[in-house]
Structure 1
Amino acid sequence: MITFTDFLPVPEPQLTKVKFNMRAGDGSGEAWDFLMDDHEHWINLSRWRTKQTNNNMGNARFLLAFAQYYPYGPQYFIFGGAFEVSEIKPDRYDDLGYDLIPLPLHEDYIKRLIIKLETPIGRSPYLRHYAGVQASLNPEVYELAPDTKLGTFPGYQNVRLRHHELQRIIANDEPSWKDALSSVKGVYVITDLSNGRLYVGSASGEANGLWQRWSGYAHLKNLTGGNVELEQLRAGLGDSHIIGNFQYSILEIFDPKTRADTILKRESFWKLALDSRTHGMNLN
C-alpha cells in the first residue's frame, strides 16, 4: 500500500491541513463537479469559515484540498490542489474567511490522483491536520490516472466538450460516455469559441448514434466529420484552429428507432432557430 503521506509530502506538516470536500453546504452541487467546471466555486468550498473551530484552518498556513470522487464511491477523493492559507481580517464567520493562493506543490497530480479512505467519513471530520491524517483516516493512494479525469457522463443537457476532451473520451472508450452517446441519435451544435459562430449537425443514420458521429470529429486525421463547411474552414485556418477553439454540445436527442427524415427536419429547425446559415458555419 502506498500511503498518503509518503506520496504527498509537505514541507511543514504541522502547519498543513487536509480538506475532504464533499458538497456545497447550500446544496448547490458536488465538490467534484465544481473542481471540474467551476474553479471559483471549488476554491470557495475551502475558503469558508464557521464559528465551529474544528471546521476551520486554525493556525494552518497550507492546505491540501480534495473532492469526493463520487463515481467511485464515498471513500474516494481526488486531489484538487495545494494552497497557501491566509486569514481575512477582520475575522469573518459563516462566510468566506480565508484567502487561498495556489501553490505548485504536487500540481501534476491535480484531477489525477485518487486516494481511498479506510472508511467513509461523515460531514464533521472533513478537515484534518496533515500530521494526523494517516493515523485517523488511513488514506492510501488508489489511482494515479495518466491524464486528468473527465468524470462520468453528466446528462445530455449538460454536455459541453472542448475538442481535446472529446478526443480523450473517444480514444479511451470512456464507458459512461460511450453508452450514453451510442444509445441515442440527435441534433448537436459545434461552437467556434474564437468568434461565436455555430454549426448545427445531426446523427440521423449512424448505427451508434452520436458516438459514431462525434468519433469522426475527434479523429485527428479527420476533425470535420466530412462536413463541407468545416472542411473549408479547416483548409483556411488549419487543424489547430479546430482543436483549439471548437466546443461540442447536444441540442436534442432521439430514440435510435426514430426515422432519419424526422431528425433532419429538427436539424433544419435548429439551423433556423440559431440562424446558423446566415451568421454561422452552415451552408445549407
Structure 2
Amino acid sequence: MIRFTDFLPVPDPSRTKVKFNMRAGAGGADAWDLLLADDPEEWLDMNRHRERRNQSNNMGQAEYLLSFAQYYPYGPQYFIFGGFFKVAAQVPPVFGGPGYELILLPQHSSYVKRLIIKLAQPIGRNIYLRLYDGLQASTLNPEIYELAPDTKLGTFSGYQNVRLTHRELQRIIANDEPSWKEALSSVKGVYVITDLSNGQLYLGSASSEANGLWQRWASYAHLRDLTGHNKELERLKEDLGDAHIIDNFQYSILEIFDPKTRDGTILQRESFWKKALDTRHHGMNRN
C-alpha cells in the first residue's frame, strides 16, 4: 500500500483541506464529468463552497486544497485527482457566496486526471471536505490505487456524444479503454472527420470491418498511418505533415448500424451524407 500522504505531500498539512467531490447538488452533474468538461470554470465552481448563512465562507482558514472527483467507472470509493490549489481570500469579504478564489498550483500538476486513490470505505456527503492533517489515520485511510500513463478520458458516454481529438483517439486505442472498445466494436457506422483548422469534412464508414468502428478508427490512430489508407488524407499528410492531422483532426459519429447490416446499406448512407454535407466539392472526399 502506498500511503496518500507519502505520495501527495503538501507545504502545510495543518492548513490544507482535501475535498472529495461527488455530484453538483441533487440531480446535478457528476464531479468526474465536470473535471472532464471543456470549461475549467465548471470544475473550479464545484470546489467553491457557498455559505448560505449571512457570513463569508473562507474554507475554515485553509491555505491549500487538494481536490478529487469521484471516479464512478471504478466505484464509490475511488477518486481521481483534480488539482492542488492555493486558497486566496476575497477582499472585501463575500457574503452568501464563495469567499475565496482557487489558484491552481504547479505542485502535483502532472497527476491531474491520472492519479486515482481508493478510500477504505465509501464517503458520506457530510464528510466530503476533510483536513489533510489526520486524514491518513481516519477511517477513510486513503491509498494510491493507480497512476495512469495518460489522462483518463472516462467511460463511453454514448454514440451521439462522441467528439474526439486525435490525441484522445490515440489514447483510447493504445490503452484498449474497455467501455470504448466494447461500444465501438459492437456497431458499424458512418462517421465524420473534421479538420478544425479550416472546417473541412471527410465522410467515411465502417461497413465490412469485423470489429466495426473500433477497427476502422484504430487505423487512424496508428502513428505510422494516420490516414486509414485513404488517398485524399494521404495527400494531405504529404503536403502538411503528420502534425497537422494530430493537432487538428476531430472524430465523430453520424449513424450507427447493427453489425448484421448489409455493407451496401451502410455505403448508401455514407453516400447520402456526402451529398448532404457536400463533402465531395467542399470537403475532403473525392469519390
Normalised to the residue count of structure 2, the TM-score between the two structures is: 0.93
Residue 60 (1) aligns with residue 62 (2): yes
Q: Deviations over 1:136-159 (max 9, x none)?
A: 221111111222212221211111
Q: Deviations over 1:30-70 (max 9, x none)?
A: 111111223221111102322379x9611011111000000
Alignment of 1:1-284 (within 5 A): 1-25=1-25, 27-38=27-38, 39-51=40-52, 57-92=59-94, 95-136=97-138, 137-284=140-287
One-letter amino acid matched to 1:14 = S
Query: C-alpha separation between the residues in 2 aligned to 1:269 and 1:247?
Result: 21
Query: C-alpha separation between the residues in 2 aligned to 1:230 and 1:95?
Result: 52
Query: C-alpha separation between the residues in 2 aligned to 1:58 and 1:135?
Result: 21
Shift of 1:198: 1.2
Unpaired runs of at least 5, structure 2: none
One-letter amino acid matched to 1:4 = F
SS at match of 2:68: strand
Shift of 1:94: 5.4
Unpaired runs of at least 5, structure 1: none
Shift of 1:89: 4.0
Q: Deviations over 1:167-206 (max 9, x none)?
A: 1211222221111111000011111111221111110111
Q: Deviations over 1:70-118 (max 9, x none)?
A: 0110000011110111233444455444311110111111111111111
* Displacement over 4 Å in runs of 4+: none
Q: Structure 1 193/97 Cα, relative in aligned 2: closer, same or farther at 3 Å?
A: farther
Shift of 1:234: 0.8
One-letter amino acid matched to 2:231 = V
One-letter amino acid matched to 2:176 = D
Query: C-alpha separation between the residues in 2 aligned to 1:233 and 1:47?
Result: 46
One-letter amino acid matched to 1:74 = P
For the 8 Å contact 1:48–1:98, the answer to whether it is kept is: no
For the 8 Å contact 2:206–2:213, the answer to whether it is kept is: yes
For the 8 Å contact 2:67–2:83, the answer to whether it is kept is: yes
SS at match of 2:133: helix
One-letter amino acid matched to 1:85 = V
RMSD: 1.8
Query: C-alpha separation between the residues in 1 aligned to 2:85 and 2:276?
Result: 45
Shift of 1:271: 2.0
Q: How many matched pairs?
A: 283
Percent of aligned positions that are identical = 72
More divergent stretch after superposition (201-210 vs 38-47):
38-47
For the 8 Å contact 1:159–1:250, the answer to whether it is kept is: yes
Normalised to the residue count of structure 1, the TM-score between the two structures is: 0.94
Q: Structure 1 47/174 Cα, relative in aligned 2: closer, same or farther at 3 Å?
A: same
SS at match of 1:25: coil
For the 8 Å contact 2:49–2:59, the answer to whether it is kept is: no
For the 8 Å contact 2:233–2:284, the answer to whether it is kept is: yes
For the 8 Å contact 2:87–2:103, the answer to whether it is kept is: yes
One-letter amino acid matched to 1:158 = N
Q: Structure 1 50/245 Cα, relative in aligned 2: closer, same or farther at 3 Å?
A: same
Q: Structure 1 281/94 Cα, relative in aligned 2: closer, same or farther at 3 Å?
A: farther
